[in-house]
Amino acid sequence: MSVRSEHTRSTARPVALKLLVAGGFGAGKTTLVGSVSEIKPLRTEELLTEAGRPVDDTSGVEGKRTTTVAMDFGRITLRDDLVLYLFGTPGQDRFWFLWDELARGTLGAVVLADTRRLADCFAAVDYFERRGIAFTLAVNCFEGADRYPEEDVRDALDLDPGVPVVMCDARERESVKDVLVSVVEHAIATGAAG
C-alpha cells in the first residue's frame, strides 16, 4: 500500500449510518440504546402518571416507572470507518406520529420484542414492512420470561423468512452490538438484492 493511500484512508471520514430502535412499550429500547452508546445517551423519559394509566398498559411491566416521550439517541463506532447513530422510538400508540420523522434517512431498524408481551411489537414490524425498511427482530431475553426457539417467534409474528431473528440482552453491550451488526448486514444485503 502506498503512503498516499494510507494517508487518504486514515483521514477519510467514517460512514455514518442511522438506525431506529423500535418495539412495544417496556420492551427495553431505552436500555438497549444506553447500554451500547459510547456517548451519554439523550433520553426523553418522563414519569408514568395516574393520568396515563387508562392508556398505558403496564401488564407484564408493572415495575416500569418512566416512559420515552420523544426519542432516545446514542452513537457507537463499530469500526474506524463505520459509526452508527441510534434513534429509539417511543413505544406507546399516542407517540407514533413521531416515527415518520425519526425514520427519515434510516438504513434499517431493530424491532425489540419482549416475549411476555409479544403482540406489542406487531405495530413496529408492520411499520417497517410497509415502508420497505430492513429490520432485525431482537428478542430481549428478560429474566423470568419464557424462552422460545427462533422459529416459534418467527411463526408467531408471521415474519418473512429473510428477516433475521436474534436473541439478546439489551443490558449487555456485546449482545447489543451483535444485534446492530445483524441490522447493518441485513440492510446492506436487502439493498444489494433490491
Per-residue pLDDT averaged across 64-82, rounded? 76
Considering only 45-49, 108-112, 156-160, which range has the smallest mean pLDDT?
Answer: 45-49
For the stretch 4-14, pLDDT in tens is: 445 445 567 88
pLDDT per residue as tens digits for the range 89-106:
876 666 677 778 888 999
DSSP secondary structure code for residue 137 in this structure: E
Q: What CATH number does domain 3-193 carry, 3.40.50.300, 3.30.1490.20, 3.90.1300.10, 3.40.190.10?
A: 3.40.50.300
What is the reported pTM? Answer: 0.79
Q: Where are the domains of the chain?
A: 3-193
**pLDDT value of residue 173:** 95
- Which whole number is the average pLDDT over 23-42? 88
Secondary structure (DSSP) of 40-107: PPEEEEEE--GGGTTT---TT-TT--EEEEEEEEEEEEEETTEEEEEEEPP-SGGGGGGHHHHHTT--
Q: How far apart are CA 92 and CA 143, in angstroms?
A: 23
- Please state, rounded to an integer, the average pLDDT across all residues of the chain: 82
